[in-house]
Amino acid sequence: MDTKYEAVIGLEVHAQLSTDTKIFCGCSTKFGAPPNTNVCPVCLGHPGVLPVLNKKVVEYTVLMGLATDCTIKERSIFARKNYFYPDLPKGYQTSQYEEPICEHGKVTIEFKDGSKKEIGVTRIHMEEDAGKSIHDYGDTTLIDANRCGTPLMEIVSEPDMRSAEEAYLYLTKLKQILTYLEICDGNMEEGSLRCDANVSIRLKGETKLGTKAEVKNMNSFRNVERAITREIERQTELLEDGKQIIQQTLLWNSDLNDVFPMRSKEEAHDYRYFPDPDLMPVVVDVQWKNKIAGSLPELPVARRDRFIADYNLPLYDAEVLTSSKELADYYEKILSVTNDYKSASNWVMTEVLKVMNDEKISITDFPVAPENLGKLIKLINDKTISGKIAKDIFPEMLKTNKDPDEIVKEKNLVQISDTSEIESAVEKIIAANQKDVHEYLSGKEKVLGFLVGQIMKETKGKANPQIVNELLKKKLSEQKN
């Protein structure tokens, strides 16, 4: 970006709450039901019906508010946001407007170099989702109202971010907190997390905000980053050409790597917001707030710091392992079997994550039970098998999730620590490789590794490598004399 300018970014994030039922009725929120089957007069907005607020939606939103250091308002209000759209049968969206339930919070993002920055959370409020228009069905547009009334939480940030990277880090942090709280699955590809990016630029040193554009339609974290980068570039070009930035909504097109105007942005007064007369003010008294606070689980940063303190892990390991709650749970289940914290971390960070990436599976679908991985580490540590054999057993465990003890027995893989057996292999290899032996004796130390490799091969990888090394060195020095 042109160094004359500074980017200013604020994000509006919609998180779908993972409640079983909708926000104002008892309809199921289950995804994938046949169209228009999870509906009732309330979520379809029939005349004369009365909405009843789902208590879980309040609790989940308060949890998020507490986790982001917000003030939880004792009294908050639902309002109607009026607009016409075919997928909105009620003719208005029930949302919180002037008096949201959470305000004035913050989220701390951390950069690769360890430095930190606080991003302000302006507000978090509860609202309902609209239905879905289906356009790819011949010439007609169809409406599926199943999603009408699905509970959402909108998290609005202050315009505190200054680069696409900061926006990416902030989003990642939000998702991490949401999934730790188990209130949203955080899946952007499937739409349970949606992000609109508000972007403006201004001359460095300027304190007034520039005119912003809002970019929508990004379906992954990387696309949010790319869309913001592109929008900053577009606005910079406009200003450099002496043109003006107009306030508008843009749609991101990831194939074209560009943004396109959608509509000029409505002003709030176009929506004719007014308090919903059918819904009571939401009251979260101190007692209820404290009860919700009592159910707050350990949050990502706390868990990471505990991993460092209790398991003596480097910051990097602790960060990777606590990147998701499920991965951290997996790691700690390994520790129910072995207390070799660092080996357990190494196995997860290399073998487990590699398979997850290659196979594109999540840790909850990982085929090896953490307890079995713990047993494998134990087998290495008590010298029943070598590390090399363990790497051979692991693929077998991936296929079958068998107990490694069984695999070792079945395949007769117990490490050979019997000196006489190893000794004969060492003698055999020395005799067969006299040329290399002489090279070694004349100072080419590197040859040692080759000889060790030959002995391991001879014993089908089962010889205890430490004993092999010791015996080999001893025999070689005997030859020298």
Choose the contact partner of 40 out of ligand ADP, Zn ion, none; CB within 5 to 8 A by kind.
Answer: Zn ion
Based on CB atoms, which residue is closest to ligand ADP, 200 or 229? 200
| Minimal distance, residue 6 CB to ligand ADP, in Å | 11
Position among 6, 12, 33, 40 found at the interface with Zn ion (CB under 5 A): 40
Cα(193)–Cα(17) distance, rounded to whole angstroms?
A: 9
| Minimal distance, residue 13 CB to ligand ADP, in Å | 9
Q: Per CB under 5 A, which region of 40-48, 187-195, 274-282, 383-391 contacts Zn ion?
A: 40-48
Q: What tokens were used for 66?
A: 């507490």
Based on CB atoms, which residue is closest to Zn ion, 36 or 323? 36
Based on CB atoms, which residue is closest to Zn ion, 28 or 433? 28
| Pairing between β-strand 248-253 and β-strand 213-216 as defined by DSSP bridges | parallel
Assess contact for 321 and 349: CB atoms under 8 A.
yes
Phi/psi region, residue 111 (left: phi>0; alpha: psi -120 to 50; beta: rest), is beta
Based on CB atoms, which residue is closest to Zn ion, 43 or 425? 43
Binding mask 301-340 for ligand ADP (x = CB under 6 A): ----------------------------------------
For residue 364, the tally of other CB atoms under 10 A from its CB is 10
Residue 82: beta bridge partners?
92
Name the E strands within 149-281. 151-157, 193-203, 213-216, 248-253, 258-264, 274-275
Which residue in 291, 303, 247 sits closest to 72, CA to CA? 291
Q: Does 268 bind ligand ADP (CB under 6 A)?
A: yes
| Interface with ligand ADP in residues 112-171 (CB under 6 A) | 156-159
Residue whose tokens read 């790597």: 257
| Beta-carbon-side half-sphere exposure of residue 55 (alpha carbons within 13 Å) | 4
Sign of CA dihedral 312, 313, 314, 315: negative
Choose the contact partner of 227 out of Zn ion, ligand ADP, none; CB within 5 to 8 A by kind.
Answer: none
For residue 225, the tally of other CB atoms under 10 A from its CB is 20
Sign of CA dihedral 151, 157, 163, 168: negative
Sign of CA dihedral 212, 217, 221, 226: negative
Alpha helices per DSSP H over 337-446 = 341-347, 353-359, 370-381, 387-400, 404-410, 419-432, 434-441
Q: Does 286 bind ligand ADP (CB under 6 A)?
A: no
| Minimal distance, residue 259 CB to ligand ADP, in Å | 15
Position among 7, 9, 11, 25 found at the interface with Zn ion (CB under 5 A): 25
Based on CB atoms, which residue is closest to Zn ion, 43 or 57? 43
Q: Does 99 bind ligand ADP (CB under 6 A)?
A: no
Interhelix angle 325-334/370-381, nearest 10 degrees: 40
Q: What tokens were used for 160?
A: 């505190």
Contacts of 14 (CB under 8 A, 6+ apart): 152, 153, 154, 155, 193, 194, 195
| Interface with Zn ion in residues 41-60 (CB under 5 A) | 42-43
Q: Per CB under 6 A, which region of 2-10, 56-64, 101-109, 358-366 contacts ligand ADP?
A: 2-10
Q: Per CB under 6 A, which region of 9-17, 313-321, 403-411, 421-429 contacts ligand ADP?
A: 9-17
| Minimal distance, residue 27 CB to Zn ion, in Å | 3
How many Å separate Cα 423 from the centre of its chain?
52
| Minimal distance, residue 245 CB to ligand ADP, in Å | 10
| Minimal distance, residue 11 CB to ligand ADP, in Å | 6
| Minimal distance, residue 158 CB to ligand ADP, in Å | 5
Interhelix angle 419-432/447-458, nearest 10 degrees: 120
Q: Per CB under 5 A, which region of 2-10, 36-44, 235-243, 251-259 contacts Zn ion?
A: 36-44
Residue whose tokens read 């507000």: 123
| Interface with ligand ADP in residues 183-212 (CB under 6 A) | 198-200, 209-210, 212
Largest CA distance in the chain: 104
Choose the contact partner of 268 out of Zn ion, ligand ADP, none; CB within 5 to 8 A by kind.
Answer: ligand ADP
Choose the contact partner of 27 out of Zn ion, ligand ADP, none; CB within 5 to 8 A by kind.
Answer: Zn ion
Which positions touch ligand ADP (CB under 6 A)?
8-12, 156-159, 198-200, 209-210, 212, 268
Which positions touch Zn ion (CB under 5 A)?
25, 27, 40, 42-43
